[in-house]
Amino acid sequence: MTIQLVSERTSMQGQGRHMDTSQVAEFLELIGVNGVILDDTGRRALGCCPFAHWLHQDKEDKRLTLSIEHLGKARTATFSCSECGAKGGLPDLVYQLQSLTGRLYPEAFMMFSEMPELFQTLPVLPKRRIRVDASAPKTRPVMHDTRKAMSDDVLDKFPLLEGCELTDAQAVIDWLHHERGINPSVIIKHKLRLYVDPLIGDLGVALPVINPEDGCICELWAWVIGSEKPYRILPDKSETIAHRRAASALFGIEYVAKGEPVLMVQSPLGAMKLESFGVAKVVAVLGHLTPESLGFGHAPNVYLAFDDTQTGRDMVKVAHKYINSGRTYFLRWSDVRRSNGKCLFSPDDMEYLDQFKKMFETRIVLGKA
């Protein structure tokens, strides 16, 4: 087999089927795969697998185990690694890498939109999960590098909602109180802060993640009025915002003492609404549910009240895998979907504490927060 270096944008043909291998090489470089070479068929590009650090036995594996093949105009390009077994369409390659590294690859996604015929995912292609027997990379869990207290200079950019004289802050308080059913005392308790989107100026709330060990704020997550979920704020000199797929944190965990039961929901606004009704020890998931998020070794019981949505059902599957089932209770909203004539899917849908008590039955004592 003859191997030639990819050095310029050329189109290769083979038996009437063609692919722009230079575009594939450019795509691989955008996700950190350099030194790509082509075989003599014109339908396959070879390179070093970007998952080597996570999935290969040798962390510094530089062998050309990654293969990108293209089977013609009617078929999309696919990748596979002969070492770790990862395979899929090229978008799958980016999604898996993004999940592992916590980085975004906007240039690669731009190529997807510009050349959909080259970079679409094959739904019929059998996929393999990320291997779980490989040692965890240093970037996981993502919380390990965020436990340091945030500086006062950073926090000063997000003033406390309570006591803030700004009109914007009052608008956010009114939204939380009147539209989301959150008691002002809960706003004060959680040290909620004003957030203003630096790009379009939309208002929102900055949700602090507090380290239970020292009581200091170590992360901030933003929830903009009208949005469906929060995203992590990574404040730096340029005031940029980033949302890392791998990012995960717990909201309200600092108020759960060792030896106490934990109630977990998937929305911090839902958690605060439950607290406003008098439900104690509510913890919310920020970002993606991870094994690290479920490390409640000190809790005698863990009660999961995730939303009755596809996302909530997916969270239940993850939790079922990583939490000791002997002390875990899954509280399903579908059991009380018609409470007082109202459909319930999450804490946001509740109007009375009795609606939640009906779902919870008698498995935990509901008390003041």
Q: Per the omega criterion (within 30 degrees of 0), is the bond before 50 cis?
A: no
Tell me the CATH number at 171.
Answer: 3.40.1360.10
Cα within 13 Å of Cα(286), Cβ side: 28
More confident residue, 146 or 45: 45
Whether residue 324 lies inside any domain: the answer is yes
pLDDT at 182 over 90: yes
pLDDT at 283: 92
**Residue 244 counted as domain residue:** yes
**Which H, E and C letters describe the chain, residue by residue?**
CCCEECCCCCCEEECCEEECHHHHHHHHHHCCCCCCEECCCCCEEEECCCCHHHHCCCCCCCCCCEEEEECCCCCCEEEEECCCCCEEEHHHHHHHHHHHHCCCCHHHHHHHHHCCCCCCCCCCCCCCCCCCCCCCCCCCCHHHHCCCCCCHHHHCCCCECCCCCCHHHHHHHHHHHHHCCCCHHHHHHCCCEEEECCCCCCEEEEEEEECCCCCCEEEEEEEECCCCCCEEECCCCCCCCCCCCCCEEEECHHHCCCCCCEEEECCHHHHHHHHHCCCCCEEEEEECCCHHHHCCCCCCCEEECCCCCHHHHHHHHHHHHHCCHHHEEECCHHHHCEECCEECCCHHHCCCHHHHHHHHCCCCCCCCC
For residue 357, is pLDDT > 90?
no
* pLDDT at residue 227, rounded to an integer: 85
Higher pLDDT, 241 or 208: 208
- Would the CA dihedral through 293, 253, 243, 174 be positive or negative? positive
Range in 15-29, 119-133, 203-217 with the lowest mean pLDDT: 119-133
Q: Residue 126: pLDDT band by 50, 70, 90 thresholds?
A: very low
**What per-residue confidence (pLDDT) applies to 359?**
82
The pair phi, psi for residue 11, each rounded to 5°, is -105, 130
The larger pLDDT score, comparing residue 4 to residue 51, is at 51
Query: Above pLDDT 70, what percent of the chain?
Result: 72
Kindly state whether residue 40 falls inside one of the protein's structural domains: yes
Question: How much is the average pLDDT of 310-317?
Answer: 84
Residue 260 and residue 348 in one domain: yes
Averaged over 296-302, what is the pLDDT? Answer: 74
Domain interval for residue 171: 143-360
Average pLDDT along the chain: 75
What per-residue confidence (pLDDT) applies to 265? 93
Pairing state of beta strands 12-14 and 17-19?
A: antiparallel
Tell me what pLDDT residue 14 has: 35
Q: Mean pLDDT across the stretch 182-189?
A: 92
Within-domain flag for 97: yes
- Specify whether 109 is located in the same domain as 151: no
Residues 150 and 110 in one domain: no
pLDDT of 329 higher than 70: yes
178 lies in the same domain as 278: yes
| Counted domains in the chain | 2
323 and 203 fall within a common domain = yes
Question: Strands 302-304 and 262-265: what pairing?
Answer: parallel
Is residue 95 scored above 60 in pLDDT?
Answer: yes
Q: What's residue 86's pLDDT? A: 84
Q: Report the pLDDT value the prediction gives residue 272, as an integer from 0 to 100.
A: 95
Average pLDDT over residues 216-232: 89
Describe the crossing of helices 90-101 and 106-114 by its angle, rounded to 10 degrees: 160
Of 114, 129, 158, which closes a domain?
114
Across 56-83, average pLDDT: 75
Mind listing the pLDDT tens digit for each residue in 252-295?
Answer: 988 888 778 889 999 999 999 999 999 988 999 988 787 767 76
In a domain, 251, yes or no: yes
Task: Dump pLDDT digits (tens) for 10-61.
Answer: 333 333 334 466 777 788 888 888 778 877 666 678 888 888 877 777 767 7
Instruction: Tell me whether residue 8 is in a domain.
Output: yes
In whole angstroms, what is the distance from residue 217 CA to residue 359 CA? 33
Pair (101, 190) in one structural domain: no
Does residue 122 surpass a pLDDT of 80? no
Q: Are residues 204 and 105 in the same domain?
A: no
**Most confidently predicted of 135-139, 250-254, 338-342:** 250-254
Q: Are residues 165 and 213 in the same domain?
A: yes
Residues 269 and 173 grouped into a single domain: yes
Q: Are residue 215 and residue 85 in the same domain, yes or no?
A: no
Residue 243's pLDDT band, with cuts at 50, 70 and 90, is very low
| Least confident span in 44-53, 57-66, 119-128 | 119-128
Residue 269 or 63, more confident: 269
Of the candidates 114, 135, 159, which is a domain's last residue? 114
Same domain, 332 and 265: yes
Last residue of a domain, one of 77, 96, 114: 114
Using pLDDT thresholds of 50, 70 and 90, give the confidence band for residue 296: low
The answer to whether residue 131 scores a pLDDT higher than 50 is no
pTM recorded for the entire structure: 0.58
Judge whether 335 lies within some domain.
Answer: yes
pLDDT for 180: 92
Pair (171, 35) in one structural domain:
no
| pLDDT greater than 80 at residue 123 | no
Choice among 95-104, 210-219, 332-341 with the minimum mean pLDDT? 332-341
In a domain, 131, yes or no: no
